[in-house]
Structure 1
Amino acid sequence: MAGHNRLSAAASPLTALLATGVHTTAYRAITGLVAWAVYSKLGLAILRKAWLNLHPVWAAALGLTSLVTLVM
């Protein structure tokens, strides 16, 4: 019976923290791997030519997800 245990897993704070930790660890590992690959292949020269300031985008995304989390 696939999916019937889904609600009990979502209700456990420990499961939620574990899922968040796994997601964060995987995200940081992949981000670091991509950053290393780009740096080793292109170096810093690409940043001088193609820099995009994403701080406002990340701030808006963080604020929006915080609001959605609080509302839900």
Structure 2
Amino acid sequence: MTKIVANLDRCVGAGQCVLTDPDAFDQSDEDGTVVVLQDAPADDQALKRARVAVEICPSRALFLAE
């Protein structure tokens, strides 16, 4: 099973992940860092969106773990 993992120490709060997949990501009200809402993509489309979010993250704070 693939899991979405976020490194909050690296996150700069750009919000690109939220724009890519608002069902899986949100931002903290406190500091704007990523909040992973769904750490396991539910289907192939969700996995594709997660991969895009990982690729476009400007701080490389997201990754997928198998």
If the TM-score is normalised by the length of the shorter chain, which range does it land in? under 0.3
Per the normalisation by structure 1, the TM-score is 0.25
Name the structure where strand makes up a greater proportion of residues. Answer: 2
TM-score normalised by length of structure 2: 0.27
Whose RCO is larger (CA < 8 A, sep 6+)? 2
